[in-house]
Amino acid sequence: MSLQGAGRVWRRFDVTLRDLPLGTLFLVASFLPGLRGHGTQVGDLPTRPFDALAVVALALECLSLVVRRRWPVICLGLVACGFALDQLCGYHSAAGTALPVALISAGFHLERRRRTTVVLLSVAYVPLAIALARLGSGGETSTGFVTFYLALALAWGAGAWLRSTRAAEAARRERVAAETRTAERIRIARELHDVVTHHVTAMVVQAEAARYLTAAPERLEQSLTAVSDTGRRALTDLRHLLDLLNPGHGTDRDTDHGVGPAEATQARTPAVGRVLTLVEQTRRAGQPVDLTERGTPPASTGSADLVAYRVVQEALTNALKHAHGSRTSVQVQRGEREITVEVSTDGTGSRATAVAAGGGRGLAGLRERVDVLGGDFSAGCGPDGGFTVRARIPADGTS
Name the least confident of 131-135, 282-286, 329-333, 378-382. Answer: 282-286
What percentage of the chain reaches a pLDDT higher than 70?
Answer: 70
114 Cβ neighbours under 8 A, 6+ residues apart: 107, 160
Would you place residue 156 in the very low, low, confident or very high pLDDT band (cuts 50, 70, 90)? very high
Please give the average per-residue pLDDT across 53-65, as a whole number. Answer: 91
What is the DSSP secondary structure assignment for residue 47, as one 8-state letter? Answer: P
Name the least confident of 93-102, 140-149, 206-215. Answer: 206-215
Please give the average per-residue pLDDT across 222-243, as a whole number. Answer: 66
pLDDT (tens digit per residue) in 257-270: 444 444 444 444 44
Q: How far apart are CA 320 and CA 317, in angstroms?
A: 5
Predicted TM-score (pTM) of the model is: 0.53
pLDDT (tens digit per residue) in 167-191: 999 999 889 888 877 777 777 666 6
Q: How far apart are CA 389 and CA 382, in angstroms?
A: 10
Residue 206, pLDDT above cutoff 60: yes
Taking CA atoms, 13 is separated from 10, 17, 19, 146, 352, in Å, by 6, 6, 10, 40, 70
- Are 127 and 36 in contact by the 8 Å Cβ rule? The answer is no
CA angle, 286 then 291 then 297, to 5°: 140
Q: How far apart are CA 387 and CA 369, in angstroms?
A: 20
Predicted local confidence at residue 399, as pLDDT:
43
325-329 long-range contacts, CB within 8 A, separation 24+: 325/286, 325/287, 325/288, 326/287, 326/288, 326/351, 326/386, 327/288, 327/289, 327/290, 328/282, 328/287, 328/288, 328/289, 328/290, 329/289, 329/290, 329/291, 329/292
- Are 254 and 264 in contact by the 8 Å Cβ rule? The answer is yes
Q: How far apart are CA 222 and CA 201, in angstroms?
A: 17
Alpha carbon 133 to its chain centroid, in Å, reads 57
Residue 357, pLDDT above cutoff 80: no
Would you place residue 120 in the very low, low, confident or very high pLDDT band (cuts 50, 70, 90)? very high
Predicted local confidence at residue 160, as pLDDT:
93
Q: How far apart are CA 395 and CA 303, in angstroms?
A: 8
163 Cβ neighbours under 8 A, 6+ residues apart: 107, 108, 109
CATH code for residues 271-399: 3.30.565.10
* Core vs surface per residue 214-228: b (16+ CB within 10 A) or e: eeeeeebeebeebbe
Strands lying side by side in the sheet with 289-294: 289-294, 328-334, 338-345, 387-394, 376-381
Neighbours of 153 (CB within 10 A): 16
Predicted local confidence at residue 250, as pLDDT:
45
Sign of CA dihedral 23, 28, 34, 36: positive
- Are 156 and 107 in contact by the 8 Å Cβ rule? The answer is yes
How many helices (H) does the chain have, and how many strands (E)? 14, 5
Residue 31, pLDDT above cutoff 50: yes
146 Cβ neighbours under 8 A, 6+ residues apart: none
- Are 157 and 149 in contact by the 8 Å Cβ rule? The answer is no
**β-pairing, 289-294 with 328-334?**
parallel
What pairs with residue 291 in β-bridges?
Answer: 330
Residue 38, pLDDT above cutoff 80: no
Q: How far apart are CA 184 and CA 36, in angstroms?
A: 62
Residue 79, pLDDT above cutoff 90: yes
**β-pairing, 376-381 with 338-345?**
unpaired
**Domain residue spans of the chain:** 3-140, 271-399
* CA R_g for the chain: 38
Residue 374, pLDDT above cutoff 70: yes
Report phi then psi at 196, rounded to 5.
Answer: -65, -45
Write down how long the chain is: 399
Residue 248, pLDDT above cutoff 80: no
Name the least confident of 192-196, 307-311, 379-383. Answer: 192-196
What pairs with residue 392 in β-bridges?
Answer: 340, 376
Q: Who has greater pLDDT, 107 or 261?
A: 107
Would you place residue 222 in the very low, low, confident or very high pLDDT band (cuts 50, 70, 90)? low
